[in-house]
Structure 1
């Protein structure tokens, strides 16, 4: 439950739009503690892909032959993959298979998911960014090797292409799909409020949400108006993956030093009061 707005906080008089689905409550509460008014409008809905056959086929491809490297991007995604395979009766087989590979974690949550499955990572990205993992893989060499990449949100096209260019066979694992949110009218209202200049900050925690926020405006004929209005909004992205669709749109944005919700909120509280587009 969101907390009452603090009239003495640094964000008093400012309004933040939240497009997240999973972390909306946590993010909103932190902003409200600092005085912000919050508009909630999830920009996407997460749907497991357990039943469409694609995850099963991708897992079978992984199991066909030994893999040398496994990249766990998120704790939720890695656990979701293992749970889905476990439900289909192949969990032990997959764990044994992955246990023979080098496991690389993007951050602490991915590392926790690896260890929670009884596996052990050999590398955790020091900056919690996939760029660290890519650098390590390219440095050690991946020619002729099979690399499993658990995706969550961003398709990591450049990451995968650079591994392929280095001679690797890349096996993407997609655990979730993203669809339009359940409450499309709420998303449309937020888009209209941004265009009207009623939203001052847009803290983003999800690449799919950022992508669909822009895409929904484009599909409904408000794309140019939204892009123009966003240049007057303080856009804060929790990390480079989330920032990717914002950067592709050519929009200015900021990122905290650490990819954490609390750090994102601190960035907004520190920078928004003096923000000048």
Structure 2
């Protein structure tokens, strides 16, 4: 096993569409096996007329307040406006309004236009953005750039704050992929902990996974597995929020960037380390779900890996069936445990490294 690669032996599910190639390459370069299943895809902007009509409406209305929710949405909006020859008019309308921005990336995109926002919700939360707008919208015309096809209830809240008019601008939409066969495989794989980790780069993708699992009557099993067995990596607190509400404790980097998420997950999985022991058949190493016996690699199922982990950690001591069953919550009987151990032995290059101790249990043959 090449332990120079920190993710060798680990399996990671990547759920994003945008920038997924960058994420996959980063994990594979470090030795991970990656499965890519986009939970949401950006719909092509086939009908630009709707966006242009919304933009013309904004330019004519000259809103007192403009709210920008995503950097990507702003870029796509400006690209469409510039292609239609109204980019300068749109930026002029921005410059004559109070700009409020959600998140650091959107803030950077606004500043790149030579504009300085009146306020920035640095934690990236819509609720924080709305809190900033209290007392500032009386009789105002407000333009709101939607986050994909979700407005998070913001238009109604703005009207309650006194806004006279809210112009919604929708630069992009998500395509629902929850019925794709690949989503079923992802849901089942996460429920069975066939992955060591899963990554999310947006809150809508978390909601899409939960909805897909619920439609398949697997939501409780999925959430339990993400809470107890599969490492969950997010790009920031907004993405983490729906997971936390479900009782899942995801990894959240201090810097809300993809690179920081990658680094944090590498560190987390790497901290699991390589378990190793000397047996009668030589050195045994377990990393993720890859078992190495005298440089022969064997790929284990999640249950098999948990059994090997427990046996290695016991250091040659005998583990009873009850103790081994505790490592496999999905095993419901001693017979099922014996069958799992039997399949494990058949999968090993040297089955004899696991010894049966009559009437007592099993141990690593050290």
| TM-score, normalised by the number of residues in structure 1 | 0.80
Candidates 8, 12, 15, aligned match of 2:11: 15
After superposition, the CA RMSD in angstroms is 3.3
The alpha-carbon distance between structure 1 residues 177 and 128, as it changes in their structure 2 partners (threshold 3 A), is closer
> Corresponding residue for 2:252?
255
Asked whether 1:114 is paired with 2:110, we answer: yes
Asked whether 1:92 is paired with 2:108, we answer: no
Question: What's the CA shift for 1:81?
Answer: 1.1
Candidates 193, 205, 216, aligned match of 1:209: 205
Q: 1:210·1:245 contact (CA, 8 Å) conserved in 2?
A: yes
Candidates 143, 148, 159, aligned match of 2:143: 148
Candidates 235, 240, 260, aligned match of 1:238: 235
CA distance in 1, matches of 2:110, 2:37: 32
- Please, which moves more after superposition, 195-204 or 6-15? 6-15
Asked whether 1:71 is paired with 2:67, we answer: yes
The alpha-carbon distance between structure 1 residues 167 and 108, as it changes in their structure 2 partners (threshold 3 A), is same
Question: What's the CA shift for 1:100?
Answer: 0.6
- CA deviations 1:46-93 (Å, max 9, x no partner) are 114451754344334423422122222222210111222333443333
The alpha-carbon distance between structure 1 residues 246 and 182, as it changes in their structure 2 partners (threshold 3 A), is closer
> Corresponding residue for 2:266?
269
Unpaired stretches in structure 1, ≥5 consecutive residues: none
CA distance in 2, matches of 1:186, 1:106: 32
Question: What's the CA shift for 1:18?
Answer: 0.3
Q: 1:6·1:32 contact (CA, 8 Å) conserved in 2?
A: no
Runs of 4+ in 1 over 6 A off after TM superposition: none
Question: What's the CA shift for 1:114?
Answer: 2.8
- Please, which moves more after superposition, 202-211 or 181-190? 181-190
> Corresponding residue for 1:223?
219
Question: What's the CA shift for 1:26?
Answer: 1.7
SS of the residue 1:229 aligns to: helix
CA distance in 2, matches of 1:143, 1:202: 44
The alpha-carbon distance between structure 1 residues 53 and 6, as it changes in their structure 2 partners (threshold 3 A), is farther
Question: What's the CA shift for 1:155?
Answer: 2.5
Higher RCO, 1 vs 2 (CA within 8 Å, ≥6 residues apart): 1
The alpha-carbon distance between structure 1 residues 125 and 180, as it changes in their structure 2 partners (threshold 3 A), is closer
Question: What's the CA shift for 1:160?
Answer: 4.4
> Corresponding residue for 1:30?
26
The alpha-carbon distance between structure 1 residues 179 and 245, as it changes in their structure 2 partners (threshold 3 A), is farther
CA distance in 2, matches of 1:262, 1:78: 22
Q: Which has the larger radius of gyration?
A: 2
Q: 1:72·1:103 contact (CA, 8 Å) conserved in 2?
A: yes
Question: What's the CA shift for 1:206?
Answer: 1.9
- Please, which moves more after superposition, 29-38 or 141-150? 29-38
